[in-house]
Each structure stands twice: as C-alpha cells, then as structure tokens.
Amino acid sequence: MIKINNIKIYDDFDNDALINFITDKYKIKKEDIIEWHIVKKSIDARKKNDVHYNYSINLKLKNENKYSKFPKVEKIDLPHININNLANKKVIIVGCGPSGLFSALTLVQNGAFPVVIEQGSSVEERQKQVEEFRKTGKLDSLSNVQFGEGGAGTFSDGKLTTGIHSPFCKKVLEEFVNFGAPKEILYLSKPHIGTDKLINVLKNMREYIISKGGKFLFNTKVIDFNIFNNKITSLICKDYNSTYELLASHIILAIGHSSRDTFQKLYEKGIFMEKKNFSVGVRIEHLQECINKSQYGNSKLHLPPATYKLSCHLPNGRSCYTFCMCPGGVVIASSSEKNTIVTNGMSNFLRDGKNSNSAILVNVTPNDFLDSSPLGGIYFQKDLEEKAFKLGGNNYFAPIQRVEDFLNNKKSEFIGEIKPSYLPGVKLSNLQEILPEFVTSTLKYSIPYFDTKLKGFANPDSILTGIETRSSSPVKIPRNENLESNIYGLYPCGEGAGYAGGIMSASVDGIRCAIAVLES
C-alpha cells in the first residue's frame, strides 16, 4: 500500500467527497484503487484564520509502480509469543480496569483461562451505584468511580490518547472497535469512546473473555497474599458470603491507583515499593462555547467540541498543567473512601454538555510528604481529601470557588454565568483554606498565564472545584526484566503499579504482562 500524508481539507467531506478530492489532487485513477482507508484525521487550529482538517490515508492500488512517488506503508508486526507450560499455569488477575481486562483478553486469545477478581461490581451494576452516589450522596466504598469493571477510566471520557509508542497501541484500538467502539477511534488524532459507549464495550469484552474460558469474580476483595520461598502461592479473597483461598502460580496485579488498603497489605508482606511523584489540584469549568471560540475562531467547519492542553513551568521548579480535559462534560464525584472528596471529569461520546472541565494540577514530589515510608504519598492525598470533605460541609458536597475570588483569596459568595456541574451538590468556599501553599501559589501564577494561551481561561466566573488528587499512582512497585516484582509470580501491572497513565498505556501494559506470564 502507499501512504499520502498531510492532506489539507477545508470542507466537511464525507468519504465519497474525500476520495474524489484526493484522486483529483494527486492524479490517482479511481479504477486503480483496490481499497483505501483513513489512518489519521486531525484538526489544525494553530492559525485561527486557517483552521482545517489534516488527513493521512493509505491506498492499495493496481499498477502500484505508476505511483512510485508516494511512500510505501511499512507493516508493523506484533511480537511473536513463545507460549510455555500453559497447562500448568493458574493465572489470577487482580483488578478489572484496562490493564486487567487486556491481560485477560490476551491470555484467553492464547489458550489460557484466567480468573479476574474485582472488588467492585460489573459495569452495569456499577453505573447504578455511581448514579446513586451523585443523586443522594450515598457512597459504596467498594464499587464507585474508582473501583469496578473498567476501572477509573470508565467514568471519565474514555480518552485513548497516549504518549507511548508501542505496536500494541493499534491492537488496543482494534479490539475496542471489535467490541463496539466507534470505528473513528482508529484514525482520529484524539480518539475517545465516551462513558456512555464504553459501558457497552466493556460488557461485550467481558462476555467474550467468559466465552473463551475466562472467569470473573465481582464484589470479591483480595485481603491477603500467601508467599512461600519468595514465590506467590495463593490469594485470600472475601465476598459477601465467605472468605476463601484461591491457588495461583501467576498473579497479575492490576489494582489501579486508588487501592490503598491493598498497597498497605503488599507493603506488610514485603513486596518492594517506592514512593513517586504525582500531582494534585482542582477542576476548572468553563462554558464549552467559549472554549470553542477560543480554539477555532470563526471557522465555518462543523468541528467537534474543542479541547486544550496547557502547561506552565515556574522559576522555582514547580510545574502546572491541565489534565484529562473533558469537553461538554461534567465534574464527577469520585470518592472511594468514606468522608473524603475526590473529583474527576466525565464526558459522554457526543460531548454535548454546556460546560467543559479540566484538572489543573501541580506537581508533588516525595519531598512534600510528611511521612517517609513508601506509602507517604497516599497519606498526603488522603489528608487533602478529608479536608475537602469538611470544607464542603461533611456531606459529600464539593467546595467550589470562582476564579476571580481564588486569585483574590476570598470566599465566593455567588455563582456567576458558569454553573457548577458537580453532584450531589456544592458549597461556596475558599479553596486556599485546604490547599498546600505551594499548590495555591502555583495555581495563582499559572491560571493567568494559561489565559494568555487560551482566551477566557481566567474568566472571573470560571468555577474551581476541589479537590483532584488521583491523577496517577503515588507508589511504584519495581519489577525485573520479566515484569515480576521481588516476589516470583507476582506481576505489577498498569497505572496502580506505576507503569501507565491512562486507558491506552494501561491496556498496553496489560498485554505485556500477559505475554510475560505466557512465556514464563
């Protein structure tokens, strides 16, 4: 096949109009086309008077020698898997987020029969529990936005952007499409599935894994790990009815970044851990139409809701950046422990809500922790979450503040044109009462700076909602060249173990850990 890159398009073409444009522009005879497909579609809005689409396409042609001026498509093959001693392996996956699911999928596709243990509920039941918390403030600490089938990414935006370069990225996207995701995620430069569509995708993936011999144990919590001669031998599990032991030769530990009690147990059992950098901050909400105007100008194209990604580096070494921007979305209650406030952002596939929201985060290093143990970052997070709970009124209402008031260090007394979307409710507050000084000063420096890059970012009525603490795992579990921890047979995996930062990278790491198990 040949590839044509950097095709500028100034119209909202459908596929027929697009291929007509391309064949005319590049003098390709239609009768020579055997097949073609889009491999990349992005929006170039760097110049507001020159907003356009940028396409790359692949074409399979007859008489390809006639088109030798175009580069050939390089085929990227997935690594061969050398399966070893499959019949003797008892594989358990702890956690049913992206890394756990793609571990399970890879294993069943290669003849293994893993058991997936998840303390939360199936995605259908979990959706009800999340909505119940948003409506009533009744929190289920075992199944919520953080825990349950699909992991924390389920109730976000289903973003599939990543900075990693792996041959498995394409496989992850193709598998999502196989299980019901929109085909456009295969070529959009910023693909997303959306929470509403992701729920069905996850259900389909689970049913396929079960059909191939995999097993899921929902509402089942791992409470202990049995180790003999430095090798994992079994797990102790607890469900609604009983406590029991499951034998295991290999355990993929895909527990996610919020599994604090499991981190504590692993630490007690002698699994090596390291504290690591992460970030904390707040959510900011704007009117989506204002973000569209700032990003697209007066473009006449039918463009999707605009996104942004901003960063700022201060002279003192601190940095601030926007994270998990959700166009047309809501700020969602994401607590997983009683008497804490945690926020995140969520969008459905159409991203058609009135507001946009994004985290504004400040980097935190181990030097900021009061506790020197590997779990010091967890204690740092939890302290902020408990303070936010108290500031919000001790009822799972989130503390909020207008940007103008935050910059002037005064409690907000009213809500302006931008209405907060957080449920079950909000309380007008002064967020500086709970934020560490270095976070406050960094945000005060960065918000006006971001306004110079994105007009309207520092709108006085923009809403800040506290607090966002779960951007990434506060710990890392070291692993060797075989992806095992210091305990043989235990494979730390995904975001919770410190090896991923989003759905894509977590899914890829799940595949890699599954392959390590298959080849062991």
Q: Which of 62-66, 171-175, 229-233, 283-287 comes out lowest in average pLDDT?
A: 62-66
What integer is the mean pLDDT of 22-33? 94
For tokens 């935050």, the residue is 406
Q: Quote the strand ranges of 310-410, DSSP E.
A: 311-313, 319-326, 330-333, 343-346, 355-364, 398-402
- Give 75's pLDDT tier (boundaries 50, 70, 90): confident
Task: Classify each residue of 239-255 as buried b or exposed e, where b means 16 or more C-beta atoms within 10 Å of its C-beta.
Answer: eeeeeeebebbbbbbbb
Residue-wise pLDDT for 348-382, tens only, equals 999 999 999 999 999 999 999 999 999 999 999 99
CB 399 within 8 A of CB 388: yes
Q: Measured between alpha carbons, how far is 222 from 245 in angstroms, rounded to an integer?
A: 10
CA 171 to chain centre: 17
Tell the residue number behind the tokens 């992991």, with chain if given.
151
- Between CA 341 and CA 283 the distance in angstroms is 12
Band (pLDDT 50/70/90 cuts) for residue 76 is confident
Q: What is the C-alpha to C-alpha distance for residues 419 and 348, in angstroms, rounded to an integer?
A: 19
Q: Which of 426, 433, 422 is nearest to 395 (CA)?
A: 426
Confidence of residue 515 (pLDDT cuts 50, 70, 90): very high
Using DSSP's 3-state secondary structure scheme, residue 357 falls into strand
Question: What are the structural domains of the chain?
Answer: 2-67 (3.30.70.2700), 86-273+477-519 (3.50.50.60), 277-468 (no CATH)
- pTM for the model stands at 0.96
> Which tens digit of pLDDT belongs to each residue from 426-464?
999 999 999 999 999 999 999 999 999 999 999 999 999
